[in-house]
Chain A
Amino acid sequence: EVHLVESGGGLVQPGGSLRLSCAASGFTFSTSWMHWVRQAPGKGLVWVSRISSDESTTGHADSVRGRFTISRDNAKHTLYLQLSSLRDEDTAVYYCARSAGGYFDLWGRGTLVTVSS
């Protein structure tokens, strides 16, 4: 069965850092483009970052560019998101998602990041 499982969320102070992980299983991770999408409490979905299957291409939303870094380890079937210089407005559930031609056909259950002093 195919799965994505996020981890690494938690409470962090403004200006702090955190690394999220997303463990993939049940499919060929190394050939899949992967993304991070976030959802602030009670709000809608917002695309955050993407990475190509071979890690050669990455992209970030304007709101996180220069602060967040997406990466992956195909040998470990794991996707990462390094969050730095965190702000209150980064508080959200962070989902990893598999891309199939641009749309997202597989989602994890998400991990909550709370930025607060």
Chain B
Amino acid sequence: EIVLTQSPGTLSLSPGERATLSCRASQTIISSYLAWYQQKPGQAPRLLIYGVSSRATGIPDRISGSGSGTDFTLTISRLEPEDSAVYYCQQYGGSSQTFGQGTKVEIK
């Protein structure tokens, strides 16, 4: 099973700043099978990014994904108060999908 480790655990930033979230895999993720989700309290997760860098429908271009192999990054430029949430990475290249433990983004 591929283990995903996200860092940092919590990110506290001000509106307008850039957030950089990391997701590291225990083994190479094939065919760019990595996604990112946003989850706000009391809500279901929402797909942000799939295939490492493809934005889902309706996701603004200030949210972007990058990376390859075992190291992946979600970047949120120009943070807005609505970006306050927990962000999860997910790999879907193996026989079973796995998620990272999440990074909480707090807006000061």
In the complex, whether A95 has a CB less than 8 A from a CB of chain B is yes
Please report which residues of chain B, range 1-40, place their CB below 8 angstroms from some CB of chain A when the two chains form the complex: 33, 35, 37, 39
Given contacts A44-B88, A45-B88, contact A104 B99 (CB under 8 A): no
Cross-chain contact B95 with A104 (CB below 8 angstroms): no
In chain B between 74 and 108, which residues have their CB closer than 8 angstroms to a CB of chain A? 88, 90, 92-93, 95-102
Interchain CB contact under 8 A, B45 and A104: yes
A108 at the interface (CB under 8 A from B): yes
- As a 0/1 sequence over residues 70 to 107 of chain A, the CB contacts with chain B under 8 angstroms (1 = contact) are 00000000000000000000000001000011111101
Secondary structure dominating the interface of A? strand
Interface residue total, chain A, C-beta cutoff 8 A: 19
Count how many chain B residues have C-beta atoms less than 8 Å from C-beta atoms of the other chain.
24
State whether A47 and B98 are in contact (beta carbons under 8 Å apart), knowing that A102-B33, A102-B93, A104-B45 are contacts in the complex: yes
Give the distance in Å from the alpha carbon of A105 to the alpha carbon of B101 in the complex. 19
Q: A102-B92, A102-B93, A105-B56 are in contact. Are A46 and B99 (CB under 8 A)?
A: yes
| Distance A58 CA – B56 CA, assembled complex (angstroms) | 26
The residue in chain B whose Cβ has the minimal distance to the Cβ of A95 is B44
Contact A45 B45 (CB under 8 A): yes
Residues of the A chain whose Cβ atoms lie less than 8 Å from the Cβ of B100: 44
Check A103 against B35 for contact (C-beta < 8 Å): yes
Inter-subunit contact A108/B44 (CB<8 Å): yes
Tell whether B50 is near chain A: CB-to-CB under 8 Å.
yes
Contact B102 A109, beta carbon cutoff 8 Å: no
Return the contact of A105 from the options B33, B47, B97, B102 (Cβ within 8 A): B47
* Chain B residues, CB < 8 A from A105: 47, 50, 56
Docked CA distance A6–B70 (Å): 34
Chain B residues at the A interface, C-beta cutoff of 8 Å: 33, 35, 37, 39, 43-47, 50-51, 56, 88, 90, 92-93, 95-102
Q: A47-B99, A95-B45, A107-B46 are in contact. List 11 more A-B contacts (CB 8 A).
A: A44-B102, A45-B45, A45-B90, A59-B95, A100-B50, A101-B92, A102-B97, A103-B50, A104-B45, A104-B47, A107-B44
